[in-house]
Structure 1
């Protein structure tokens, strides 16, 4: 199945200068495990639950520390026309649980391991 049939087309994001506490609150409110880090409408990184845990483990103050200090900027992406099994394999190999989805360089949503696991479970 193609990623276009699996991904979540909502874009939940934050700005790099936002506080970690605000990003964590947004993740909780939206019930997502990652946010796109945006510069205007352009994606420049991703902040995940794992990044927040890493920040807390290093004694960062979530009320003052900025998203940019802990966001991953070396991102991989999934394309709408990619096969979901190939994307899942790439995510497993690299230990990534969330991938931004792009359509010819334009951010259109996010796909998670949970999305792909759900597809695999219900496709049986």
Structure 2
């Protein structure tokens, strides 16, 4: 199945200059495990639940520390026309659970391991 049939077309994001606490609140509000990190309108990275845990483990103050300090900036993406099985393999190999989805270089959504696992479970 193609990623275009699986991904979540809603883009939840935060700005790189925002505080970690605000990013965590936004994740909780939208019930998501990752946010696209924007620097103005440019996608500069992704911040995940794992990144927040890493920040807390290093004693970062979520009320003052900025998202940019803990966001992953080496962004891997999936394309709408990619096969979901191939994307799942890439995510497993990279050890990541969330992947931004792009359409010709434009961010259009996010796909998670949960989305792919749900697809696999219900396809049986």
TM-score normalised by structure 1 residue count: 0.99
Q: Secondary structure at the match of 1:71?
A: coil
Does the 8 Å CA contact 1:42/1:107 hold for their aligned counterparts? no
Post-superposition offset of 1:41? 2.9
Post-superposition offset of 1:42? 2.2
Partner of 1:80: 80
- Deviation readout 1:64-106 (Å, 9 max, x if unpaired): 0000000000010000000000000000011000000000000
Partner of 2:26: 26
RMSD (Å) for aligned C-alpha atoms = 0.5
Post-superposition offset of 1:43? 1.1
Partner of 1:121: 121
Partner of 1:9: 9
Alpha-carbon separation, structure 1, partners of 2:41 and 2:78: 18
- Deviation readout 1:37-61 (Å, 9 max, x if unpaired): 0123321100000000000000000
Q: Which runs of 5+ in 1 are unaligned?
A: none
Partner of 1:36: 36
Q: Which runs of 5+ in 2 are unaligned?
A: none
Alpha-carbon separation, structure 1, partners of 2:4 and 2:39: 24
Counterpart mapping for 1:41-120 below 5 A: 41-120=41-120
Q: Secondary structure at the match of 2:28?
A: helix
Deviates more, 1:65-74 or 1:32-41: 32-41
Q: Secondary structure at the match of 2:109?
A: strand
TM-score normalised by structure 2 residue count: 0.99
